[in-house]
Amino acid sequence: MTSEDKAVIDVLDRFYVAWAAGDADAIADLYTKDATVVMPGVYDTSADEVRAFFTAGFAGPLKGSSAIDEERSVRVYGSDAAIVISTSGILMAGETSVPAPRLVRATWVLARQDGRWLIAAYHNCALNPA
């Protein structure tokens, strides 16, 4: 793994630390202002919408949750773009493993802006569709 790969993965690591802390502001700070998030039932088009999604989630259904993420591939393109493919899932409060139906394959697109790697786009879909 190159130093650039590690810098990209560090963004995802910080995302999951912020998630475990229930910190929607820290999560939103990892996104570009015009980031997109596409998941079943979700289409966010800015870091502010990401913040609102996680603020509501941490106050409700995501309270006490954490998430797991296993990077499958990291590809850095040039000096300012990267794509990470991972397997992810949400551990609800009290769970020790993610049930198979909640595992997803995720695509993260990161862009370097002002010297920082930020999440520009995120998408996931069910790993084990019903």
Query: What is the model's pTM?
Result: 0.94
Domain range for 56 is 3-126
Flag whether pLDDT at 85 surpasses 80: yes
What is residue 45's DSSP assignment? -
Distance CA 3, CA 112 (A): 14
- The string of DSSP letters for 72-90 reads EEEEEETTTEEEEEEEEEE
CA angle 95–42–48, rounded 5-degree value: 100
Number of structural domains in the chain: 1
16-40 pLDDT tens trace: 999 999 999 999 999 999 999 999 9
- Write the CA distances from 83 to 8, 86, 101, 111, 120, integer angstroms: 9, 10, 24, 9, 10
pLDDT for residue 130: 62
In this structure, what CATH number is given to the domain that contains residue 42?
Answer: 3.10.450.50
pLDDT for residue 38: 97
